Amino acid sequence: MTLRPASTVPPDLPGLESRFSHVRGDWHYLDNGAELSAHGIEPVGTVLAVHGNPTWSYLWRDLIETVTERAIEASAALGEYPDGVRGAWRVVAVDQLEMGLSARTGRRRTLADRVADLSAFTADLGLDGPVVTLGHDWGGVVSLGWAVDHPDRLAGVALLNTAVHQPDDAAIPAPLRLALARGVHRWGTRTTRAFLETTLGLARPRLDRDVADAYRLPYRAADDRDGIEQFVADIPAAPDHVSRPELDRIADGVAALDVPALLLWGAHDPVFSDRYLDDLLRRLPHARVHRFEDAGHLIAEDVDYAPAVLRWLGSAVSGDDARADGVRSEPVRSEDPRAEVSPEVEGPPGPVNASARGSSDRAAPETTFRPIWAGLDERAADPVSRTDQAVLDLTATGAGRVVSWGALDRQVRRLAAGLHEIGVRRGDRVSLLVRPGPTLTALVYACLRIGAVVVVADAGLGLRGLTRAQRGAWPQYLIGQTTALAAARTAGWPGVRIAVDPLDPVRRRALGVDHELIDVARAGEGLELPPEPGPDDDAVVLFTSGSTGPAKGVLYTHRRLSALRDVLAEHFAVGPDTGLVTGFAPFALLGPALGTRSVTPDMDVSAPRTLTARAVADAVKATDARMVFLSPAAILHVVDTADRLTAVDRDALGRVETFLSTGAPIGAALLQAAQSLMPAAEAHTPYGMTECLLVTDITLDGIRDAAGAPDTGVCVGRPIVDPADGGVLISALDDDGAATGPPSADPGALGEVLVSAPHLKERYDRRWLTDVAAERDTPPGHWHRTGDVGHLDDAGRLWIEGRLAHVLTTSAGPLAPVGPEQSIERVDGVRRAAVVGVGPAGVQQAVAVVEPERGSGRVRPGLAPEELDAAVRESSSVPPAAVLVVPEMPTDVRHNSKIDRARLADWASGVLAGGRVTAP
């Protein structure tokens, strides 16, 4: 082994100025302290950054450059620090001994040695505090060891993908098992650069050659790589490993830390998976966490993480709320693949701790709290209604199953106690992959009663989308039917498996099932329930549709979930005798909460177009329901199959009093066609989103009244909530199409729609930066930037004109697509239209894409026929540069009703550039 002293970096490393490189004894480290002093800047604290294996301090170059530049800029601006950062931070990024450009001492180091080494280094440097530790990979464990040992100096902890605990019953990740294998370990880590190159190859996207060479710089010869070999050998893979006691000590100490915490996580890390993020969040439940969907192990290379660290330092660590310290993030026109913090959002475990609830930690408004299951309790306790219908399932798999209020209450209590008996605790996440019906209803209320967090991601997301959702939410338990369990086994979804369907021993073993639901219910028979969760405990994670990017988890607390029930009951006058037909999955579970019977019609709820008019009529007859919930895609098929209704069916539908189309706004013609089947019903089409399921509401008569207005877009009515509890505001668009205007209720201004309500989501799940974007420049209170574009009219009605991401930036200014689309859809023979932008931002050209009426004959995708082209140009309020046709519009995967404009824009660009013409 060759001994070697520490050295400084050469002057030509990409992204790192040599002036930050220092040597002190055996240590090489990066330090911006001298640079700050040269500008007369006194830092408010120090970020102590520790790399892992096989990287070195070069990993932190973006942070040190960014922090220094921002501090100097702020100093020049008389201390008004950008991005809410109050004060400048010194950054010290050290190379661990035997690693990077620090000395090769010839000593083999354990985890305890490395923690002691870091303490010796900071003592020699005179680092008194306040100190924020920052670590990645095994450097995260070392940094946390320093944090646990120096609580008097600690101001916060920040981590990129790492781990502090390895369960005894779980194997270490496969890549590490391979690196430790006999015959591979020394060869892969020291003899060759295999381990180093494999790690560098994990970057997403691939590292530039000069950057990769910079990472290789300290490890050119085999002797330089002794530290890499030692670090791998020191992985505490078994309980009797020499470093396991130190790892356990640090893990226990982390759980006792009471300082701000930040977790930035790459979702595609093959080593430090979400299993380890889940463990860290259980130890640091107050942490702010953002999970980057497209990043991997080298998250510091994959995403622009430094601004996120700066924001957190300025808000959480400085003790100032992000709103109080004047955060004014720049609006983003389109998502930076390295940032993933666009405010154009559609909309951690667990945390019941207030400081984990988003960027501003605002508490929900104080209201009288009535648990979500109170309606069920009341109906079950009433001797008269106890035997009445509660839930009916008319789907093919449900076979007409009917459950009374008393039976539902008993099953909920049995399942709740049984789940608690097998280990489910408050804050544990339970993924329910069960078809809508009585079983799913009972499971939802059972989980809520014991404080478990229900994770709901429907099958409409597809296998890939479901996999992302399951790994993102990382449930501790997964309850599913056989098909779901098979998918879970194939795709490697997390969670203890509980089978809804009875299984023979062979299939049970093959699917990795730990329990059967019938046994869970039996185990809970006669047991007392644990204490109920509180109103501000987490209740449910719902996933967005994925129509505007990867589906995001939206977290509701018990208070906000109950507020949704209350606003629904009040606004639509839902009572015990109402009865609901629920052909829209999100509302299929609210019947027991509202204390009224509910029925799922004969359909595949994950495929709305499977619902027929006859199935709706059968559901109404079975329950004497007075209210019908349907999605727009389901309505289309219901109307199309109305000719199959009998006189008895029509008579039953004639008794419906309220009809709601929920999921996306629909036009008067379709709503009228649906109401013609239910002539006595008042037809409503509420506007909402996963983040706030009810925002505004409009009736068919309201749509007709709005038809005479000069406004463009879809009128979705007035806000449902009392203005004192929230409302709707507009942030006007600038010439670049960004929503930069101060939120206002002024009529006529085109801008992004902001909403606030007691039933607005609490936060995005493990998406702190998305929360920050969704609350950028909002008024005091709990607000959400929807990503929708529209305006308010003089009567206080909201008009939706598209998505922020779909706004065209033309030379004449921003153009929302819905208004021009509406004028095109009035052309004879046009079924649907989309207006998309083609060309560079700022000078985009409007291109109309048309789907002809069905029965128009064969439609070839590409340029529209001359006659159709002329008619569209003449009718459009904004004459398009080109008119294209498609046989059918591409739509999102879940609603089957929202046109995928981004996909159409890419297709149109290719067609007009002379590319091969195929259907989008």
Phi/psi for 479 (5° steps) reads -110, 125
Cα 256 to Cα 617: distance, rounded to the nearest angstrom: 58
CA 789, chain centre distance (Å): 21
pLDDT of residue 351: 32
Question: Mean of the pLDDT values across residues 714-732?
Answer: 91
Q: What is the pLDDT of residues 59-116, one digit of tens each?
A: 999 999 999 999 988 887 765 444 444 568 999 999 999 999 999 999 999 999 999 9
pLDDT of residue 575: 92
Task: Name the amino acid, one letter, at 506.
Answer: V
**Taking 80 as the threshold, does the pLDDT of residue 173 lie above it?**
no
- Other residues' Cβ atoms within 10 Å of the Cβ of residue 186: 15
Question: Mean of the pLDDT values across residues 523-536?
Answer: 96
pLDDT of residue 606: 67
Q: How many residues does the chain have?
A: 920
Cα 252 to Cα 241: distance, rounded to the nearest angstrom: 17
Return the domain boundaries, the chain. 18-328, 405-543, 807-912
Report the percentage of the chain scoring pLDDT > 70.
91
**Taking 90 as the threshold, does the pLDDT of residue 549 lie above it?**
no
Cα 186 to Cα 152: distance, rounded to the nearest angstrom: 40
Band (337; pLDDT cuts 50, 70, 90): very low
pLDDT of residue 892: 64
Cα 186 to Cα 233: distance, rounded to the nearest angstrom: 9
Band (535; pLDDT cuts 50, 70, 90): very high
Q: What is the pLDDT of residues 598-641, one digit of tens each?
A: 998 988 776 778 899 999 999 999 989 999 998 888 888 899 99
For tokens 């009035």, name the residue.
826
The SS3 assignment for 354 reads helix
Cα 146 to Cα 92: distance, rounded to the nearest angstrom: 14
Band (237; pLDDT cuts 50, 70, 90): confident
Strand partners, 389: 404
CA 184, chain centre distance (Å): 39
Q: Superfamily assignment of 18-328 in CATH?
A: Alpha/Beta hydrolase fold, catalytic domain (3.40.50.1820)
- Output the six-digit token pair for 515: 């329990």
Question: Mean of the pLDDT values across residues 381-405?
Answer: 87
For residues 465-482, b (16+ Cβ closer than 10 Å) or e, as one string?
Answer: bbbbbbbbbbbbbbbbbe
Mean pLDDT for the chain overall: 89
Q: What is the pLDDT of residues 657-716, one digit of tens each?
A: 999 987 776 778 888 999 999 999 999 999 999 999 999 999 999 999 998 899 999 999
Q: What is the pLDDT of residues 489-505, one digit of tens each?
A: 999 999 999 999 999 99
Strand partners, 832: 851
Band (439; pLDDT cuts 50, 70, 90): very high
The answer to whether domain 18-328 and domain 405-543 are alike in fold is yes
Phi/psi for 599 (5° steps) reads -140, 135
Q: What is the pLDDT of residues 812-847, one digit of tens each?
A: 999 999 999 989 988 998 988 999 999 999 999 999
| 270 close to 202: Cβ distance less than 8 angstroms | yes
Q: What is the pLDDT of residues 735-782, one digit of tens each?
A: 999 999 999 999 999 999 999 999 999 999 999 999 998 888 999 999
What are the DSSP calls for 41-58, one per residue?
A: ---SEEEEEE--SS--GG
**Taking 60 as the threshold, does the pLDDT of residue 196 lie above it?**
yes
Cα 154 to Cα 131: distance, rounded to the nearest angstrom: 5
The SS3 assignment for 340 reads coil
Band (547; pLDDT cuts 50, 70, 90): low
**Taking 50 as the threshold, does the pLDDT of residue 343 lie above it?**
no
Cα 693 to Cα 560: distance, rounded to the nearest angstrom: 11
CA 110, chain centre distance (Å): 38
**Taking 60 as the threshold, does the pLDDT of residue 352 lie above it?**
no
Strand partners, 763: 555
Q: What is the pLDDT of residues 845-893, one digit of tens each?
A: 999 999 998 777 778 899 999 999 999 999 887 889 999 999 988 876 5
**Taking 50 as the threshold, does the pLDDT of residue 362 lie above it?**
no
Multiple choice CATH, 405-543, 3.30.1490.150, 1.10.10.10, 3.40.50.980, 3.30.70.100: 3.40.50.980
**Residue closest to 390 by CA, chosen among 404, 377, 376:** 404
Q: What is the pLDDT of residues 123-134, one digit of tens each?
A: 999 999 899 999
| 145 close to 111: Cβ distance less than 8 angstroms | yes
pLDDT of residue 182: 80
**H-helix or E-strand containing 627?**
strand 627-630
Q: Superfamily assignment of 807-912 in CATH?
A: ANL, C-terminal domain (3.30.300.30)
pLDDT of residue 330: 36
Of 162-171, 421-430, 517-526, the range with the lowest mean pLDDT is 162-171
Band (531; pLDDT cuts 50, 70, 90): very high
DSSP 609: G
**H-helix or E-strand containing 786?**
strand 784-792
Cα 687 to Cα 721: distance, rounded to the nearest angstrom: 12
Band (723; pLDDT cuts 50, 70, 90): confident
Exposure on the CB side of residue 773, measured as CA atoms within 13 A: 28
Strand partners, 290: 264, 767
Of 311-325, 558-572, 805-819, the range with the lowest mean pLDDT is 311-325
